[in-house]
Structure 1
Amino acid sequence: MEPSLVEIRGLSVAFDGVPVLRGIDLDIRRGEAIGLVGESGCGKSVTWLAALGLLPGKAAISGSVRLDGSEILGAPRSVLESVRGGRIAMIFQDPSSSLNPVLRIGRQITEALAIHRGLVGEAAKSEALRLMDLVGIPDARRRFDLYPHEFSGGQCQRLMIAMALAGEPDLLVADEPTTALDATIQAQILDLLITLRAETGMATIFISHDLGAVSQVCERACVMYAGRIVEQGSIDALFSNPYHPYTLGLFDAIPELDGPRDRLIPIPGTVPDPRHLPEGCAFSPRCSRAEADCRVRRPDLKAVAGDRSLACHHPVDAPQRTDEMRLEPAS
């Protein structure tokens, strides 16, 4: 098997002694798309901010993050600056806070091209216009010198993707890239990510709470809860027959678009405060299948079948789901 592009082992993060990420293990192969799903506060974004050295200095980070076999966790700033954007690029959920409001869009894209590919002058402008065309910005040449506020929210997200592509990265981390966009624009951004991955061959990490979007973009998914991965596997296997009660709860909370209206089935409670995690399984206070051992013994993530991994003492023994869960993105 081809070596992984990125290997994460035992990645943990604590703020002021409080653990918020607890031993993440993850392999990303070249060209594949992986979804990270779970409720807010589960550690999806922190995983990649830690891997790229983007957390504040008070964060205590341990573990290993290897890119093509070379350790980048805790690497010197000069190394990380070549990795960020050049090898691993990240786009964030709020382009309005990521784009500089006082710099023209053309300058922001050409700066990325100068840093990562050494392009300047007309060569940089030509490539910037190509990237703007590639991500679907209409009339790119005329709009090259406009400011971010002169673009719509969806277009600003496209511009963020263009800047991420400027360094020709091997891995694109998309952190909730469709948040706050209407359903039509969401679908366009998802189609764009799928197309770009097919054309460039880059791997993709898609961070989202939207299971429908993940099913469209990704081949494999990791379900996170309270700073840990609790289940992972291929999209088809995971979505047709979830094993972890938390994964099943996420699916059960999705509204049915066809058939009679019915009440949603929410997961009771909330994600626990990391300062006061339960002694055993972090999900046990919310889990209808929890037994005495769940409250005193934390389950480890173990391989269970094929590419499936699971961290649960009493997994769901559910029949295969019959609703062909290639979901439409949530509106």
Structure 2
Amino acid sequence: MGTAAAKLVEMRGLKVAFDSVQVLHGIDLDIAKGEAVGLVGESGCGKSVTWLAALGLLPGKASVMGSVKIDGQELLAAPRSALEQVRGGRVAMIFQDPSSSLNPVLKIGRQITEALLIHRGLRGEAAKTEAWRLMDMVGIPDVRRRFDLYPHEFSGGQCQRLMIAMALAGEPDLLIADEPTTALDATIQAQILDLLTSLRTETGMATVFISHDLGAVSQVCERVCVMYAGRIVEEGMVAELFAEPRHPYTRGLFDAIPGIDGPRQRLIPITGTVPDPRNLPKGCSFSPRCPRAVEACSHELPPLVSIGRGRQLACARPVPPAAIAAETRDRIAEGMMH
């Protein structure tokens, strides 16, 4: 569920439904102050919905239940005025396509200084000076000149850096990065990951990194939660979970990682797709795709339980540690190094 260090986020029993179709089934998650946590899983597993629900950003037809607290402040029952103070202030969120988040008809300087006015009350020269500092902090060169440029005059990687600068304008305690490198090439991806790591070290903010890229998660996160069909199915410290994935779904994700060096190897895909939330299988949602499933798996939903050393697992037939092949370990190591 989380760490024993000072808690910033306490999430309990978070459930989300759209038009009576439940898509999150009770998420429990703690995040410590300054901690970096990864959420991984295929598209449709509920990673982004978890945080959009927490921040009150889902459409009106969504039904949200449970509890989400930031430093003890309940968000789900908070009035809109209180949520607006939290969003962009205590909690900031960046997305995978910065071009859709930046206003194309406003200069970058205007957009950053607006964030500074809203969240810190800075105006005029004070706001401009702070905007320059933030742009420089995220690696934008020649900030005084580029302050007056429009988003289309920046590259995709620079636009993502500018989105991070805007997120930092409110001096957040928590930064949620939702697939922030997906639209970028490999070199720029590595630069953004390095930037997120250095900013966390420099500012002390906690980070949630939402991704399907296990290698990226290994670079920026200390702890990882694996999600499937609206539930957390495995959780642990990155080094331990990556070295010894126990849930068959987690193991399947690693088996699908291509090797960088050595001879070509046939990847082992996870058969099938994430189930439609309107027609979830009975029992374990992964059982129709699971190579280890037995009859009982199609009838009984395994709870998320502790298996020691900060690890949690929801599986009736976990992968034995000795069953993880040497070539899989090599691919995991390569992913963590790259």
TM-score (norm: length of structure 1): 0.98
Structure 1 unaligned residues grouped into runs of 5+: none
Distance in 1, Cα, partners of 2:332 & 2:259:
11
Match of 1:7 among 7, 10, 25: 10
Structure 2 unaligned residues grouped into runs of 5+: none
Partner letter of residue 226 of structure 1?
A: A
Partner residue in 1 for 2:332: 325
Match of 1:67 among 70, 82, 92: 70
Cα distance per residue 1:181-225 (max 9 Å; x no partner): 000000000000000001001000000000000000000000000
Matched, 1:52 2:76: no
Distance in 1, Cα, partners of 2:283 & 2:57:
30
Distance in 1, Cα, partners of 2:227 & 2:158:
30
After superposition, residues 158-307 of structure 1 pair within 5 angstroms as 158-307=161-310
- Measured on the aligned residues, the alpha-carbon RMSD in Å equals 1.4
Partner residue in 2 for 1:90: 93
What is the number of residues matched between the two proteins?
331
Q: CA, structure 1 residues 329+56, in 2 after alignment: closer, same or farther (shift >3 Å)?
A: farther
Q: Is the Cα contact below 8 Å between 1:216 and 1:327 reproduced in 2?
A: no
Distance in 1, Cα, partners of 2:292 & 2:335:
29
TM-score (norm: length of structure 2): 0.96
Distance in 2, Cα, partners of 1:74 & 1:285:
37
Match of 1:24 among 15, 24, 27: 27
Distance in 2, Cα, partners of 1:70 & 1:217:
27
Partner residue in 2 for 1:152: 155
Cα distance per residue 1:138-197 (max 9 Å; x no partner): 111101011111111000000000000000000000000001100000000000000000
Distance in 1, Cα, partners of 2:54 & 2:239:
28
Cα distance per residue 1:270-321 (max 9 Å; x no partner): 0000000001000000001001111011111111111000000100003266
Q: CA, structure 1 residues 330+101, in 2 after alignment: closer, same or farther (shift >3 Å)?
A: farther
Q: Is the Cα contact below 8 Å between 1:216 and 1:326 reproduced in 2?
A: no
Percentage of identical aligned residues: 75
Partner letter of residue 262 of structure 2?
A: G
Residue 328 of structure 1: how far off its partner (Å)? 4.1
Partner residue in 2 for 1:77: 80
Distance in 2, Cα, partners of 1:288 & 1:234:
25
Residue 259 of structure 1: how far off its partner (Å)? 1.6
Match of 2:138 among 135, 143, 152: 135
Distance in 2, Cα, partners of 1:150 & 1:174:
23
